[in-house]
Amino acid sequence: MDCTSNPISRTNIPFHASGALEFVLELAIGTPPKPYPFLLDTGSGLIWTQCKPCSKCMKQPSPIFDPSKSSTFSHLSCSDNLCQALSQSNCTRNQCQYFYSYADQTYSIGDFARETFTLGTNSDVKVSMAIGCGHTNAGNLNNSSGIAGFSRDETSMVSQLGIPGFSYCMNDDINKRTLLKFGTQEEIFRDIKAKVQATKFVDPPPGIEAYAGLYFVSMTGITVGTKRLSIPKSVFDKGMIVDSGSTFTELPNVAYNKLKKALQSSTKWSPSNITILDLECFSTGSIRPSQVKLPKLIFHFPGMNLDIPRDNYIVDMDEKGVMCLAIMNADSFGIIGNGLQTNMQVLYDLKNSKLVIAPNQC
């Protein structure tokens, strides 16, 4: 698809916080089009919503989608390339069925179909895409009515649209709307005056090829204040994935403990038995947590030194007298979660396979 001349490449889609530490796109599906909020998830590769008849469904803000009321809904055959691209599928009467699951145990099972999407604020921009129509679903949709996978998997929304890149700016104010934009680096950052930096996407390390569609970057180190932490390069060998669908950033064990120790020594905070959302919290004594001054924090990547604002990695709980580190200990590869990306213009440059970031007050 030549996106330079296609109206899809100039589409802006309303984008905002869901109120549940996640971010949603406002899309419309079916004919006639019905509005549905979809979680934007760069860590997965399927678009799906819950459908009637629903044997098991989660709570969602929109009515359950009824495919019988849409004139453009059609089942995909088992021989369709997109059905073949699913990691888990089944075939019943030559109709493709899917099973998709997530790290938080959310899952969806149903029919893999084709449906018309209306994109953004321009109701003339319509596109037909494969969508999961879930009849058995469980987990948590976090105030959305479906999940829009934006990985590089063949079944994802971005792969089906064939766009050169997409960009968002996350703001955690649920009353403030921003836009998801499709386009190139030149288009996205044209009016941004702040420093623009980029780092290349890399392949996942051996042994986790199943995650090949995700957006891995190489992390090379961490600076706290003026001191580069002594972290062996091998600690970051498994890479970091950029994941809009994960709230908190996760660092490999050695890096996490080095960061925590450096912050503790510079602020004199002490461990607290209070935990918030599984985050480690620290007592600040007689000082209100929000008034504690923290040293500069920089994450290093090839070609990028990312200055992390205080609010992106600290949760202040003044009423409890603690501050919590909004970074967690990773079990495997690291994750750059959406909290760390707040008030940054983030571009996934698919054409040139790189991540581009600049500070931006969304």
Q: Kindly report the average pLDDT of the chain as a whole number.
A: 92
Do 148 and 27 contact (CB within 8 A), yes or no? yes
Of the residues 41, 111, 153, 349, which is catalytic?
41
> Is residue 49's pLDDT more than 60?
yes
What are 60-117's pLDDT values in tens digits? 999 999 999 999 999 999 999 999 999 999 999 999 999 999 989 999 999 999 999 9
Q: Is the pLDDT of residue 124 over 80?
A: no
- List, for residues 205-243, the tens digit of each pLDDT value: 888 777 889 999 999 999 999 999 999 999 999 999 999
Strands 126-138 and 327-330: unpaired
pLDDT of res. 147: 98
Which of 30-39, 43-52, 276-285, 345-354 is the least confident region? 276-285
Rounded Cα distance between 118 and 26, Å, is 10
Residue 120: predicted pLDDT: 76
Mean pLDDT of 19-26: 86
pLDDT in tens, 238-269: 999 999 999 999 999 999 999 999 998 888 78
Is 278 known to be catalytic? no
Nearest of 336, 45, 24, 349 to residue 170 by alpha carbon: 24
Give the pair of three-digit tokens for residue 338. 């959406």
H-only helix segments in the chain: 81-85, 157-161, 185-188, 253-267
Which residue among the candidates 124, 243, 318, 349 is catalytic per the annotation? 243
Question: Is the predicted pLDDT of residue 2 greater than 50, yes or no?
Answer: no
DSSP secondary structure letters along 293-309: ----EEEEETTEEEE--
Closest-CA residue to 245 (of 29, 40, 76, 12): 40
Residue 4: pLDDT over 50: no
Q: When comparing pLDDT for 298 and 267, which is higher? A: 298
CA atoms within 13 A on the CB side of 296: 11
Provide the b/e sequence for 327-350 (b: ≥16 CB within 10 Å). bbebeebbbbbbbbbbebbbbbbb
Q: How far apart are CA 281 and CA 272, in angstroms?
A: 6
* Known catalytic membership, residue 41: yes
Whole-model pTM: value is 0.94
- The angle subtended at Cα 241 by Cα 180 and Cα 172, nearest 5°, is 40
Mean pLDDT of 268-276: 85
* Residue 202 confidence class, pLDDT cut points 50, 70, 90: very high
